[in-house]
């Protein structure tokens, strides 16, 4: 005769009521899945900000007054933004105490994509002589080769690849490198040496469909690195006090800007998820109390046949554990598939930087959430399991009739 | 009263979801201008059209499964469901690829939705084609 173990018995009981099993399983799946998705998005944003800030390299970014939000958006999402200020500002800033290094950047928006479909590109002109944001990357990736004026470096999300050429405003550029993925605006940015960019601007009158009205003395932003012994915020205040018409923001403020964008959405998601957990906890508790009541006769017979109290307790707990475990696993798989498929949509709609955390972190989060799902099942079914295990066999059989 | 196969109805609903995906999550709407000045839709426009046809075929096969009584006949139809699911996945990837730019509407929303739905259809098709459907396990309509 085939031996029936506890697991097989629990599985059989769950299969006996498929509708109830599916509904409770779905409750747990939705709660686990939404918590998993919210946690991964949050960790993805933090990961992206860490990588992006390291790539940005600057302690302070100076932009014309009134354009700080647009500039922050350009750094976070790569949304092309153009604004200009005089290069006098850079000369003044470099003389201030606490300032270690300054490097100018000029922003240009392209008219159309040259190699495919449609879309506007964000061109950032940088000075290879003073730059400390892209240049460290160049030394490790270009084997010390000098960057020509028409050599460009592109972000990971730009379709161009090394060795390809592209024409912007009538000027041809060659792609010499592709930056690593950061999940931030850098991925959708094209870095052009200042000499090449100025030449492109000057030639746009004769070569391009539209003339670029940017003066050779115009700058869009100034990247500032602060001396190691100076306070970043003190230097920022000093710059704002000494220069009119500029706005200074720190790398930390970029994080705050992202935090503000995320606050609402993640707040709602975590709120809904917490409610779902509570709802699942009460539902499982209630359903298992009903199950135990409904199956008093069956449990009483099991006891009369020699099953110990511990076996009855384990059976009820096992059923709850199996149900919440399978529901949790289903939720994790579904959330993982949806998150992988729609990560770009989430990133674009929420306007947030996002870079998938590493595999071990994802596995750790999944394991923790699975344990949480199992714990919920155990907690909710604890009382019904205890009360059912305490039932006297004769009384249970009589009450269940 | 006729017995309807629940899994057949599930297949038909999945097919319907594939049909409405390009409507709910539209592909790129801009037109490409050719060298001769003629404006044509982007490739993803045709991907969407093809997927809507596959979705409609899945609906038809799903309804046939729902109304058929013999498990053997249903099993044969599930093979077709699995094949249509596979085609739904392969269409935006290889058969009629969507636009090149990863940030375009067709790539961020329509394509992943179609691949996920196609994957579910494929799994349902494979599961159905392996196990003969028992009339006792099905819902009564």
DSSP track, A300-354: HHHHHTT--HHHHHHHHHHHHHHHHHHHHHHHHHHHHHHHHHHHHHHHHHHT---
Residue A60 lies in a domain: no
Task: Tell me, yes or no, whether A207 and A230 share the same domain.
Answer: yes
A287 has pLDDT over 90: no
Tell me the DSSP string of A106-145: EEEE-SS-SSSS----EEEEE-TTT--SSHHHHHHHSTTP
Tens of pLDDT along A92-136?
999 999 999 999 999 998 866 444 334 578 899 999 889 888 777
Quick check: B37 contacting A, CB < 8 Å?
Answer: no
A116/A157 Cα distance (integer angstroms) = 13
Last-in-domain residue among A196, A217, A244 = A244
Q: What is the Cα B116 distance to its own chain's centre?
A: 10
- Phi, psi (rounded to 5 degrees) for A225: -110, 140
Task: Tell me, yes or no, whether A232 and A362 share the same domain.
Answer: no
A27 SS3 class: helix
Task: Tell me, yes or no, whether A90 and A133 share the same domain.
Answer: yes
Alpha helices in chain B (DSSP H): 6-24, 43-67, 71-90, 105, 111-130
Task: Tell me, yes or no, whether A107 and A227 share the same domain.
Answer: yes
**A221 close to A71: Cβ distance less than 8 angstroms:** yes
B131 has pLDDT over 70: no
Helices (H) and strands (E) in chain A, counts: 12, 11
- Name the domain count of chain A: 2
The mean per-residue pLDDT over the stretch B90-106 comes to 91
- Chain B residues close to A338, C-beta within 8 Å: 116
Tens of pLDDT along B111-120?
999 999 999 9
pLDDT at A398: 75
Distances (CA, A) of A22 to A28, A200, A324, A326, A329: 10, 63, 11, 10, 13
pLDDT at A56: 77
Q: Nearest residue on chain B to A79, judged by CA atoms? A: B103
Pairing assessment for the beta strands A85-86 and A165-168 based on DSSP bridges: unpaired
Radius of gyration of chain A (CA): 31
B44 has pLDDT over 80: yes
pLDDT at A201: 92
Pairing assessment for the beta strands A99-109 and A165-168 based on DSSP bridges: unpaired
CB contact under 8 A, B108 and A113: no
Task: Tell me, yes or no, whether A207 and A264 share the same domain.
Answer: no
- Phi, psi (rounded to 5 degrees) for A354: -155, 125
**Partner residue opposite A117 with nearest CB, options B104, B112, B113:** B104
The mean per-residue pLDDT over the stretch B58-87 comes to 92
Distances (CA, A) of A241 to A234, A247, B122: 10, 10, 65
A195/A214 Cα distance (integer angstroms) = 14
Query: Which residue has tokens 């696993």?
Result: A329
In SS3 terms, A37-49 reads as HHHHHHHHHHHHH
Task: Tell me, yes or no, whether A210 and A278 share the same domain.
Answer: no
Number of inter-chain CB pairs under 8 A, A vs B? 43
Confidence band (pLDDT; 50, 70, 90) for A188?
A: confident
- Chain B residues close to A116, C-beta within 8 Å: 99-101
pLDDT at B2: 59
CB contact under 8 A, B102 and A344: yes
Task: Tell me, yes or no, whether A238 and A98 share the same domain.
Answer: yes
From the CB of residue B94, how many other CB atoms can be counted at a distance below 10 Å?
Answer: 8
Task: Tell me, yes or no, whether A175 and A214 share the same domain.
Answer: yes
The mean per-residue pLDDT over the stretch A157-162 comes to 85
pLDDT at A400: 60
Q: Tokens for A206?
A: 């004769």
| Half-sphere exposure of residue A143: CA atoms within 13 angstroms, side-chain side | 1
**Partner residue opposite A159 with nearest CB, options B42, B100, B119:** B100
Residue A251 lies in a domain: no
**Partner residue opposite B30 with nearest CB, options A116, A118, A159:** A118
Confidence band (pLDDT; 50, 70, 90) for A169?
A: confident
Q: How far is A116 from chain B (nearest CA, A)?
A: 7
Q: Nearest residue on chain A to B112, judged by CA atoms? A: A341
Distances (CA, A) of A51 to A94, A134, A184, A254, A385: 27, 13, 9, 13, 49
Tens of pLDDT along A22-52?
988 998 999 899 899 989 988 998 888 888 8
Please choose, from the candidates B60, B63, B61, the residue with its C-alpha nearest in 3D space to the C-alpha of residue B81: B61
B100 secondary structure, DSSP code: S
Q: What is the Cα A21 distance to its own chain's centre?
A: 33
Residue A138 lies in a domain: yes
CB contact under 8 A, A116 and B102: no
Portion of chain A with pLDDT greater than 70, in percent: 96
Q: Nearest residue on chain B to A334, judged by CA atoms? A: B116
Last-in-domain residue among A244, A268, A297 = A244
The mean per-residue pLDDT over the stretch B93-100 comes to 93
Residue A100 host element (H or E): strand A99-109
Last-in-domain residue among A191, A217, A244 = A244
Portion of chain A with pLDDT greater than 90, in percent: 32
pTM: 0.80
More confident residue, A372 or A52: A372
Q: Tokens for A225?
A: 């690195």
Tens of pLDDT along A329-355?
999 999 999 999 999 898 888 888 888
Distances (CA, A) of A106 to A192, A240, A349, A395: 9, 20, 27, 85
Domain range enclosing A383? 6-50+258-399
pLDDT at A1: 54
B140 has pLDDT over 50: no
Task: Tell me, yes or no, whether A88 and A150 share the same domain.
Answer: yes
A356 secondary structure, DSSP code: P
Task: Tell me, yes or no, whether A265 and A289 share the same domain.
Answer: yes
Q: Tokens for B66?
A: 């729902």
**A280 close to A33: Cβ distance less than 8 angstroms:** no
pLDDT at A16: 87
């Amino acid at each position: 005769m085939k031996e029936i173990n506890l697991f097989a018995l629990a599985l059989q009981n769950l299969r006996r009521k498929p509708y109830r099993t599916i509904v409770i399983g779905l409750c747990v799946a939705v709660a686990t899945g939404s918590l998993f998705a919210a946690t991964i998005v949050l960790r993805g944003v933090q990961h992206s900000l860490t990588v992006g800030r390291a790539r940005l390299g600057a302690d302070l970014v100076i932009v014309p007054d009134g354009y700080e939000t647009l500039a922050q958006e350009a750094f976070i999402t790569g949304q092309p933004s153009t604004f200009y200020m005089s290069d006098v500002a850079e000369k003044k800033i470099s003389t201030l105490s606490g300032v270690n290094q300054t490097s100018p950047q000029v922003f240009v928006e392209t008219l159309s994509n040259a190699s495919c479909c449609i879309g506007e590109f964000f061109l950032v002109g940088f000075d290879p002589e003073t730059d400390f944001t892209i240049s460290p990357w160049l030394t490790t990736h270009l084997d010390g080769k000098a960057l020509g004026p028409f050599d460009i470096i592109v972000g990971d999300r730009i379709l161009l690849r090394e060795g390809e050429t592209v024409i912007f405003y009538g000027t041809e550029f060659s792609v010499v490198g592709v930056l690593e993925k950061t999940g931030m605006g850098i991925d959708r940015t094209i870095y052009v040496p200042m000499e090449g960019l100025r030449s492109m601007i000057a030639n746009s009158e004769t070569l391009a469909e539209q003339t670029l009205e940017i003066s050779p003395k115009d700058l869009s932003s100034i990247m500032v690195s602060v001396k190691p012994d100076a306070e970043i915020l003190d230097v920022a205040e000093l710059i704002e006090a000494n220069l009119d018409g500029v706005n200074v923001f720190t790398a930390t403020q970029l994080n705050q800007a992202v935090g503000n964008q995320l606050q609402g959405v993640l707040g709602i998601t975590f709120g809904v998820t917490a409610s779902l957990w509570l709802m699942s906890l009460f539902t499982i508790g209630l359903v298992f109390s009903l199950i135990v009541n409904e199956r008093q006769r069956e449990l009483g017979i099991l006891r009369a046949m020699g099953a110990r109290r511990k076996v009855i307790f384990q059976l009820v707990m096992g059923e709850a554990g199996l149900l919440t475990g399978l529901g949790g696993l289903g939720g994790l798989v579904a959330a993982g598939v949806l998150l992988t498929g729609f990560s770009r949509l989430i990133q674009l709609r929420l306007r947030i930087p996002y870079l998938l955390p590493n595999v071990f972190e994802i596995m750790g989060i999944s394991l923790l959430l699975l344990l949480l799902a199992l714990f919920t099942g155990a907690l909710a079914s604890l009382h019904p399991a205890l009360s059912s295990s305490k039932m006297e066999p004769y009384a249970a059989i009589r009450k269940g009739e | 009263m006729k017995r309807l196969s629940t899994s057949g109805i599930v297949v038909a609903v999945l097919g319907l979801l594939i049909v409405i995906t390009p409507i709910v999550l539209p592909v790129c709407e801009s037109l490409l201008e050719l060298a001769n000045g003629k404006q044509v839709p982007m490739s993803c426009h045709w991907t969407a059209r093809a997927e809507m046809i596959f979705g409609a075929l899945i609906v038809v096969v799903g309804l046939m499964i729902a109304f058929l009584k013999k498990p053997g006949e249903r099993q044969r139809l599930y093979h077709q469901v699995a094949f249509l699911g596979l085609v739904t996945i392969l269409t935006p990837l290889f058969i009629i690829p969507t636009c090149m730019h990863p940030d375009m509407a067709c790539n961020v929303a329509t394509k992943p939705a179609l691949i996920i739905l196609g994957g579910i259809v494929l799994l349902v098709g494979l599961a159905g084609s392996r196990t003969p459907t028992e009339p006792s396990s099905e819902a009564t309509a």
